Amino acid sequence: MGSVPAELSLDIRPTFLPKTISNFLHEVSTIGNAAEKFLRLDDYVKRLEEEMRKIDAFKRELPLCMLIMNDAISALKDESAKWRIPNSQPVLKEFIPLKKECDQKEKIENEKECRDKKNWMSSVQLCNTAVYPPKANSNYEQKQHFKVENKKTEGESVEDPFQPRRNIDRNGGFMRFAYSALPVTTTKDEKEDSGLSLLTPSIKNANTREGSGSSGSRTSSSSVSPPSVQANLRTGPQQQSSRKQRRCWSPELHRRFINALQQLGGSQAATPKQIRELMQVDGLTNDEVKSHLQKYRLHTRRVPSATATPAPANQSSVVVLGGLLMSQDQYNDSIRTTSSQSGSPQGPLQLARSARGWSQTEGDKMEDDEEDEKSESYGWKNHLHKPGRVDV
């Protein structure tokens, strides 16, 4: 019952040795001289390796063959290592494991080759379907000239009420990837007392050009961005020239904007810089405010009644804010939120307006929070009331 000859056993070891090799090993085992054993084994290994090289060109067609060869070589190498002359290889114990590692690598390599055929199809599929974030999105990335590198992760936008899900942007996947490449973690801690640390913008901080309207005139915001963010933003020089990240005007941010407008006497009277200062939003730049103001004016301008119309604040059930019609409730809520964050006074300057697309019945009752959930940007309309609904 003793030991069963290797070739007769049902040993299903991963390493299979052809009978010829088993025979060879058996034959070698009869040799008494260790050096002789080693030489024989080594010679055999070399021959096998040579053949391996020959069939290497066909390794894709002969994966199993390669495997078998590999196993054989591996086994023989192990065996030959055992009989290696000690003085030529003093650290025999260490040599073996090393060799095994090496062989293991070879095995893995070959197995990879074997799997190649199986996998390449699926790989292609993966490439096509799973357009993976940063790097995989090469097309867009190239288009954007490394713009991607400047972007931040989703986490940040989720955290920041002013940066609601820019990655779920209307631009879809593109936006998602483009804006979420940079693993910047933004926590609420980064928000200042006002709770406003628009991290998006911090990217801008890294940009050389702050824009004509904001150069050097930014509020204390620029220096507030956490070092880690700043560091991440400066990951590469090429990013400096890239377009800055889109500012996402969340409902809350827009509220601030409107609030500032009120205090400044309306969109026509307010200047970007003033607005920005009033908004007290971290990282917000004049450029962004300017751009937003421009859009705001454009929208409000579409409707003749878009001019500022001062009126008592609590007069009716509807408050008109800088072109935004809000229900008193919504307005109060808005102010509450805003004030709690900025402490800015409430001075509802009321601007009657019903710009198309900028108005929406509050009644559609999308709570602001819900808006946040459903859209990454405030959307003018979400904060406006349809004229018809206005009860003035």
Binding site residues, DNA, CB under 7 A: 144, 200, 204, 207, 209, 211-217, 243-249, 271-274, 286-288, 290-295, 297, 299, 357, 377, 379-380
- Please say which residue, 313 or 324, places its beta carbon nearer to DNA: 324
Enumerate residues 6+ apart whose C-beta is below 8 A from 234: 206
- Please say which residue, 32 or 216, places its beta carbon nearer to DNA: 216
Residue 356 identity (one-letter amino acid): R
- Please say which residue, 285 or 337, places its beta carbon nearer to DNA: 285
CB of 377 to DNA, least distance (A): 4
Spatial CA neighbour of 286 closest among 272, 303, 269: 272
- Please say which residue, 15 or 144, places its beta carbon nearer to DNA: 144
- Number of other CB atoms surrounding residue 249 within 10 Å: 27
Is the separation of the CB atoms in 69 and 51 below 8 Å? yes
- Please say which residue, 46 or 243, places its beta carbon nearer to DNA: 243
Spatial CA neighbour of 152 closest among 226, 208, 213: 226
CB of 252 to DNA, least distance (A): 12
CB of 271 to DNA, least distance (A): 3
Residue 174 identity (one-letter amino acid): F
Q: Taking each helix axis as running N to C, give the angle between helix 63-82 and helix 19-29, from 0 to 180 degrees, rounded to the nearest 10.
A: 10
Distance CA 133, CA 146 (A): 13
Spatial CA neighbour of 322 closest among 303, 307, 302: 307
CB of 228 to DNA, least distance (A): 21
- Please say which residue, 153 or 377, places its beta carbon nearer to DNA: 377
Distance CA 76, CA 19 (A): 13
CB of 323 to DNA, least distance (A): 13
CB of 284 to DNA, least distance (A): 9
Residue 313 identity (one-letter amino acid): A
